[in-house]
Structure 1
Amino acid sequence: MTHPIARHGRQKTPKPIALIARFVGVAAAVVAVSGAAFAGYATWSVSSEVQTVALAGETEGVVPQIDAIDGGVNLLLVGSDSRAGQGDAYGDTEGNLNDVTMLMHIAEDHSSATVVSFPRDLVVPIPSCPDPAGGSFDAMSAQPINVTLSYGGLPCTVLTVEALTGLSIPFAAEIQFNGVIEMSNAVGGVPVCVVDPIDDEYTGVYLETGTHTLQGADALGFLRTRHGVGDGSDLGRISSQQVFLSSLVRTVKSGETLSDFGRLYGLARAASGNMVLSQSLASPDTLVSIALALKDIDLEKVTFVAYPGSTDGDGDYAGKVQPLYDDADVLFAAIAADQPVVTADPANTGVGAMVDPNAPAATAESEPAAADVAASAAEAATDPSSGAADATPDTSGNAAAAATALPQSITGQTAAEYTCSKGNDY
Structure 2
Amino acid sequence: MSGSRRTSPSPAVRPIARHGRQRTPNAALSILKFLGIALSVVLVSTMTVTSIAAWDLSRQVKTVHLGNEQTIGKIPEISAIDGGVNLLLIGSDSRANSVYSYGEDPESELNDVNILLHISQDHTNAVAVSFPRDTYVEIPECEDGQGNTNGPVEESKINTALDYGGGSANGGLACAVKTVENLTGLVIPFAAEITFDGVIEMSNAVGGVPVCVAQDIEDDHTELYLPAGVHDLQGMDALKFLRTRYGVGDGSDITRISSQQVFLSSLVRKVKSASTLTDVTKLYGLAGAAVRNMTFSDSLKSVDTMVQIAKALAPIDLDKIVFVQYPTVESYDQSGLYPNSDAADALFSAIQADQPIALSAPDPENATGSVPAPGTETPAPTEAPSDTATDAPAEGDPSATPTPTDGGVAQMPSGVLGQSAAQETCSVGRSLDDQ
Report the TM range for the smaller structure's normalisation: 0.7 to 0.9
Q: Matched residues in 1 for 2:285 and 2:416: separation?
A: 35
Q: Matched residues in 1 for 2:88 and 2:119: separation?
A: 12
Q: CA deviation at 1:281?
A: 1.2
1:234 to 237, 248, 253: 253
- State the SS of the aligned residue for 2:221: coil
- State the SS of the aligned residue for 1:74: strand
Aligned partner letter, 1:338: D
Q: CA deviation at 1:168?
A: 0.7
- State the SS of the aligned residue for 1:199: strand
- State the SS of the aligned residue for 1:230: coil
- State the SS of the aligned residue for 1:338: coil
1:247 to 266, 271, 290: 266
1:352 to 348, 369, 389: 369
Pair 68,259 (structure 1): closer, same or farther in 2 beyond 3 Å? farther
Pair 39,235 (structure 1): closer, same or farther in 2 beyond 3 Å? closer
**Map of 2:127 onto structure 1:** 114
- State the SS of the aligned residue for 1:273: helix
Aligned partner letter, 1:191: P
- State the SS of the aligned residue for 1:104: strand
Aligned partner letter, 1:352: G
Which runs of structure 2 are paired with 1:253-264 in the superposition (5 Å)? 253-255=272-274, 264=283
Q: Residue 47 of structure 1 contacts residue 283 of structure 1 at CA under 8 Å; is this kept in 2?
A: no
Q: Residue 259 of structure 1 contacts residue 295 of structure 1 at CA under 8 Å; is this kept in 2?
A: no
**Map of 1:61 onto structure 2:** none
Q: CA deviation at 1:285?
A: 2.6
Q: Residue 128 of structure 1 contacts residue 136 of structure 1 at CA under 8 Å; is this kept in 2?
A: yes
2:156 to 136, 143, 152: 143
1:183 to 177, 180, 202: 202
Q: Residue 133 of structure 2 contacts residue 159 of structure 2 at CA under 8 Å; is this kept in 1?
A: yes
Q: CA deviation at 1:70?
A: 2.1
- State the SS of the aligned residue for 2:156: strand
Pair 90,355 (structure 1): closer, same or farther in 2 beyond 3 Å? same
Pair 320,237 (structure 1): closer, same or farther in 2 beyond 3 Å? same
- State the SS of the aligned residue for 2:354: coil
Pair 112,190 (structure 1): closer, same or farther in 2 beyond 3 Å? same
Q: Residue 236 of structure 1 contacts residue 351 of structure 1 at CA under 8 Å; is this kept in 2?
A: yes
**Relative to total residues, which structure has the larger helix share, 1 or 2?**
1
Aligned partner letter, 1:415: A
Aligned partner letter, 1:326: D
Q: Matched residues in 1 for 2:61 and 2:424: separation?
A: 36
Q: Matched residues in 2 for 1:45 and 1:168: separation?
A: 35
- State the SS of the aligned residue for 2:307: helix
Q: Matched residues in 1 for 2:218 and 2:240: separation?
A: 11
Pair 335,87 (structure 1): closer, same or farther in 2 beyond 3 Å? same
Q: Matched residues in 2 for 1:105 and 1:196: separation?
A: 33
Q: What are the ranges of 5 or more consecutive residues in structure 1 without an aligned counterpart?
A: 1-37, 49-63, 374-390
Q: CA deviation at 1:260?
A: 7.9
Which runs of structure 2 are paired with 1:21-420 in the superposition (5 Å)? 42-44=56-58, 66-93=78-105, 94-152=107-165, 153-255=172-274, 264-314=283-333, 318-345=334-361, 351-359=368-376, 367=379, 369-370=380-381, 392=384, 402-420=408-426
Aligned partner letter, 1:139: P
Equivalent pairs counted in the alignment come to: 344
Deviates further, 334-343 or 183-192 = 183-192
Aligned partner letter, 2:326: Y
Q: Residue 193 of structure 1 contacts residue 211 of structure 1 at CA under 8 Å; is this kept in 2?
A: yes
Q: Residue 83 of structure 1 contacts residue 91 of structure 1 at CA under 8 Å; is this kept in 2?
A: no
Work out the percentage of aligned pairs sharing the same amino acid: 54
Pair 138,47 (structure 1): closer, same or farther in 2 beyond 3 Å? farther
Q: What are the ranges of 5 or more consecutive residues in structure 2 without an aligned counterpart?
A: 1-51, 63-75, 166-171, 391-403
Q: CA RMSD in A?
A: 2.9
Q: Residue 302 of structure 1 contacts residue 414 of structure 1 at CA under 8 Å; is this kept in 2?
A: yes
Structure with larger RCO (C-alpha < 8 A, sep 6+): 2
Q: CA deviation at 1:239?
A: 0.4
The normalised TM-score by structure 2 is: 0.72
Q: Residue 385 of structure 2 contacts residue 408 of structure 2 at CA under 8 Å; is this kept in 1?
A: no
**CA deviation vs aligned residue, 1:214-251 (integer Å, no higher than 9, x gap):** 11111122112111111111101110111111111111
Q: Matched residues in 2 for 1:286 and 1:257: separation?
A: 23
Aligned partner letter, 1:44: S
**CA deviation vs aligned residue, 1:274-322 (integer Å, no higher than 9, x gap):** 21111111123322322222221111111010001112433xxx33111
Q: Residue 346 of structure 1 contacts residue 413 of structure 1 at CA under 8 Å; is this kept in 2?
A: no
The normalised TM-score by structure 1 is: 0.74
Q: Matched residues in 1 for 2:273 and 2:407: separation?
A: 24
- State the SS of the aligned residue for 1:103: strand
**Map of 1:29 onto structure 2:** none
Q: Matched residues in 2 for 1:197 and 1:334: separation?
A: 37
**CA deviation vs aligned residue, 1:132-188 (integer Å, no higher than 9, x gap):** 112321211111111111221111111000000000111111111111211112222
Q: Residue 176 of structure 1 contacts residue 275 of structure 1 at CA under 8 Å; is this kept in 2?
A: yes
